[in-house]
């Protein structure tokens, strides 16, 4: 069924909604000159703005939805990973266990539901006997190896004793040794000569290779010399006729110069006469000269410089250029500073030349000394005489002694630092004791208070009486000798104990005192019994019992080793 046709009846401008005539004036959009087309254009623009805003809001909605989806995926991934980590922490990493026991299917099936710590504990329990047997075998192997090494050393000593007992060295053997030493030296010299010969052959080969370039270079130099000789001859032949007629040409030049100067003087005088006439008739001449003419009747505009002044100006310009270059070269701000600066630079350059010559001389001397030292080093390196060998051995022994002394010095320094730390700790402890007992022997406590206000008599001690005046300030940290600290502390403690020595204790205090003494004796007895047990154990280990019914320690170990081996075989 076809859709019913609907007719659109547009409203007038007066009856329109928010964009009617009566509302448009608030938006500054009304103009009496507008036509219907202008208003339609305005409405179309507003419609486009609304469409653009609607599209923008739709895009924002899409972006928000995509951001939420991305955040949801990220949270799900994080939740999945954290769940995996939680399962690994609670149950154990099954895949890692499979990788560890790869190829051992029985162990995979046995230890699959357990964690790694439990697996390690189970394996340790199963392999305890094997590890114990392995330790015993390793210990036995080490013992037998040490005994075998000792026997080998004894055998080698006996062999050396039988081989080298009462050796009688023959004269031929001594000569053979000297000849052998000379042969070694000759071999070294032959190798050195061979190396030098190879180096010289390489130099000759390189020079022969480069000699193909010598002839073209010499030919080019010869051609240049010939060209220069011809050029000098041409200049000499050209200048000889001129030198012959130099006097006549000089006379001719002087005549022309005299005539020219006379003519210029006459013209200058005539010009000055004309200038005087112009100055006398200045007003009359101004009326005759046109305004656009190049002729100037103002006498101040004429150039009054003579020929010598013009030459002087040219020379001054050249001098200024040279001065500018000198200022830039010497870094001077004023021309007056150029000469002193140049003079100082000349002196400095002379000093630098002298220093360079001295350095070059020192360098040559150093090079000569280095060559001599290198030659001596090569000779010493290839010297196999008994004196040189003895010197090398002595050098090595001295070096070993120096290293040993350095190690001892290092150990002494470490011990010294440790002793210093211990001394400082003792000083700090005794200083603390002196600080606690600083009011003893100063009249603060003269007699013991038998009847105390406090039930606890310890609160009446002098170092808890905060109402007394501090007669002695606390000493500074770590000052003085350790023995002085010890003697002072001993004196103060003895004086303090003398104060409380003759005090009559109550029954409760006697009971506590006896309990304290019994605890101390009990602790001492425990320590003494423990040390006696250790001593007896060590003594029993060394005692050998002759009774065949009583097994020794070694027999007990052998029996336990056999039992362990039988158990291992039974388990396998």
Query: How does pLDDT run across 232-272, given as a tens digit for each residue?
Result: 888 888 777 777 777 787 888 888 888 888 888 888 888 88
With 0-12 CB in 10 A as exposed, 13-18 as middle and 19+ as buried, what is 204?
exposed
| Section 213-225 average pLDDT | 80
What is the 3-state secondary structure of 512-572? HHHHHHHHHHHHHHHHHHHHHHHHHHHHHHHCCCCCCCCCCHHHHHHHHHHHHHHHHHHHC
500, 499, 522: which is closest to 509 by C-alpha?
500
What is the pLDDT at residue 146? Answer: 94
Query: How does pLDDT run across 135-162, given as a tens digit for each residue?
Result: 999 999 999 999 999 999 999 888 887 7
Q: Is the dihedral of CA 185, 188, 194, 196 positive or negative?
A: negative
What is the pLDDT at residue 148? Answer: 95
Q: Quick one: how many helices (H) and strands (E) in the chain?
A: 16, 0
Rounded to an integer, what distance in angstroms lies between the CA atom of residue 382 and that of residue 185? 8
Helices 128-163 + 553-571 axis angle, to 10: 130
Q: Which residue has the tokens 């075989």?
A: 569
Residue 285: which residues within 8 A CB-CB, separation 6 or more? 278, 297
Rounded to an integer, what distance in angstroms lies between the CA atom of residue 70 and that of residue 64? 10
Token readout for 428 is 């700090």
What is the pLDDT at residue 8? Answer: 46
> Do residues 123 and 104 lie in contact, with contact meaning Cβ atoms separated by under 8 Å?
no
Most confident of 135-149, 392-406, 480-494: 135-149
The maximal CA–CA distance of the chain, rounded, in angstroms, is 169
Most confident of 130-144, 418-432, 489-503: 130-144
Q: Between 296 and 82, whose confidence is greater? A: 82
What is the pLDDT at residue 75? Answer: 92
| Section 492-501 average pLDDT | 80
For residue 476, is pLDDT > 60? no
For 325, phi then psi, to 5°, come to -65, -40
Rounded to an integer, what distance in angstroms lies between the CA atom of residue 516 and that of residue 522? 10
Residue 180: which residues within 8 A CB-CB, separation 6 or more? none
With 0-12 CB in 10 A as exposed, 13-18 as middle and 19+ as buried, what is 486?
middle
120, 123, 113: which is closest to 92 by C-alpha?
113
Where does the pLDDT of residue 4 fall: very low under 50, low under 70, confident under 90, or very high at 90 and above?
Answer: very low
Token readout for 192 is 């050195």
> Do residues 482 and 431 lie in contact, with contact meaning Cβ atoms separated by under 8 Å?
no
Query: How does pLDDT run across 316-349, given as a tens digit for each residue?
Result: 888 888 888 887 877 777 778 888 888 888 888 8
For residue 547, is pLDDT > 50? yes
Which DSSP letter does residue 412 get? H
Which DSSP letter does residue 464 get? G
Rounded to an integer, what distance in angstroms lies between the CA atom of residue 243 and that of residue 538? 130
| Section 30-52 average pLDDT | 76
Query: How does pLDDT run across 90-134, given as a tens digit for each residue?
Result: 766 777 777 888 888 778 777 777 777 788 888 888 888 888 899
Query: How does pLDDT run across 11-36, given as a tens digit for each residue?
Result: 555 555 555 555 555 455 556 666 77
| Section 2-14 average pLDDT | 51
Where does the pLDDT of residue 291 fall: very low under 50, low under 70, confident under 90, or very high at 90 and above?
Answer: low
What is the pLDDT at residue 69? Answer: 94
Distances (CA, A) of 541 to 140, 244, 447: 19, 135, 60
Rounded to an integer, what distance in angstroms lies between the CA atom of residue 49 and that of residue 32? 24
Distances (CA, A) of 319 to 158, 315, 323, 334, 392: 106, 6, 6, 14, 75
What is the pLDDT at residue 143? Answer: 94
State the Cα torsion 197-201-203-208 to the nearest 10°: 160
Rounded to an integer, what distance in angstroms lies between the CA atom of residue 293 and that of residue 284? 16
Query: How does pLDDT run across 350-365, given as a tens digit for each residue?
Result: 999 999 999 999 999 9
443, 555, 459: which is closest to 499 by C-alpha?
443
Query: How does pLDDT run across 433-474, given as a tens digit for each residue?
Result: 888 887 776 544 444 444 444 444 444 444 444 444 444 454
pTM metric for this prediction:
0.23
Q: Between 401 and 476, whose confidence is greater? A: 401
Please tell me the least confidently modeled range out of 52-61, 358-367, 398-407, 455-464: 455-464
What is the pLDDT at residue 431? Answer: 82
For residue 65, is pLDDT > 90? yes
């Amino acid at each position: 069924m076809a859709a019913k046709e609907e007719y659109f009846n547009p409203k007038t401008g007066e009856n329109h909604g928010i964009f009617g005539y009566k509302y448009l004036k608030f938006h500054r959009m009304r103009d009496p000159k507008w036509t219907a087309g202008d208003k339609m254009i305005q409405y179309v623009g507003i419609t486009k703005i609304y469409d653009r805003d609607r599209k923008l809001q739709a895009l924002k909605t899409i972006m928000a939805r995509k951001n939420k989806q991305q955040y949801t995926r990220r949270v799900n991934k994080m939740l999945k990973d954290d769940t995996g980590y939680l399962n690994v922490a609670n149950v154990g990493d099954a895949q890692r266990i499979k990788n560890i026991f790869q190829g051992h299917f029985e162990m995979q099936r046995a230890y699959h539901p357990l964690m790694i710590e439990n697996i390690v504990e189970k394996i340790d329990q199963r392999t305890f006997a094997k590890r114990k047997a392995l330790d015993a075998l390793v210990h036995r192997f080490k013992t037998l190896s040490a005994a075998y090494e000792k026997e080998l050393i004894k055998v080698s000593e006996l062999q050396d004793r039988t081989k080298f007992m009462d050796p009688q060295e023959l004269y031929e053997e001594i000569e053979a040794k000297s000849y052998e030493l000379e042969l070694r030296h000759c071999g070294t010299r032959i190798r050195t000569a061979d190396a030098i010969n190879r180096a010289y052959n390489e130099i000759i080969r390189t020079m022969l290779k480069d000699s193909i370039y010598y002839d073209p270079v010499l030919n080019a130099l010869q051609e240049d010399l010939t060209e220069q000789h011809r050029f000098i001859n041409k200049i000499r032949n050209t200048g000889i006729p001129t030198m012959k007629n130099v006097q006549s040409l000089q006379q001719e030049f002087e005549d022309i110069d005299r005539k020219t100067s006379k003519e210029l003087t006459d013209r200058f005088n005539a010009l000055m006469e004309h200038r005087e006439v112009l100055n006398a008739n200045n007003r009359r001449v101004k009326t005759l000269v046109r305004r656009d003419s190049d002729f100037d009747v103002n006498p101040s505009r004429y150039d009054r410089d003579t020929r010598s002044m013009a030459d002087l100006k040219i020379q001054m310009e050249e001098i200024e250029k040279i001065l500018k270059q000198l200022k830039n070269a010497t870094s001077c701000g004023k021309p007056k500073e150029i000469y002193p600066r140049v003079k100082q630079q000349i002196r400095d350059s002379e000093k630098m030349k002298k220093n360079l010559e001295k350095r070059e001389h020192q360098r040559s001397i150093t090079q000569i000394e280095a060559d001599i030292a290198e030659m001596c080093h090569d000779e010493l390196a290839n010297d196999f005489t008994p004196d040189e060998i003895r010197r090398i051995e002595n050098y090595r022994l001295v070096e070993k002694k120096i290293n040993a002394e350095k190690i001892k010095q290092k150990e002494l320094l470490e011990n010294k630092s440790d002793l210093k730390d211990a001394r400082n700790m003792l000083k700090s402890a005794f200083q603390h004791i002196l600080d606690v007992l600083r009011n003893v022997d100063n009249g603060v406590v003269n007699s013991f208070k038998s009847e105390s206000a406090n039930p606890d008599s310890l609160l009446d001690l002098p170092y808890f009486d905060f109402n007394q005046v501090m007669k002695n300030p606390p000493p500074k940290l770590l000052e003085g000798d350790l023995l002085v600290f010890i003697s002072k502390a001993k004196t103060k403690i003895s004086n303090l104990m003398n104060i409380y020595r003759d005090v009559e204790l109550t029954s409760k205090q006697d009971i506590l005192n006896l309990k304290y003494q019994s605890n101390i004796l009990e602790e001492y007895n425990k320590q003494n019994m423990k040390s006696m047990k250790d001593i007896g154990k060590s003594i029993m280990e060394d005692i050998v019992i002759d009774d065949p019914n009583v097994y020794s320690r070694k027999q007990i170990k052998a029996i336990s080793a056999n039992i362990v081996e039988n158990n291992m075989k039974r388990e396998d």
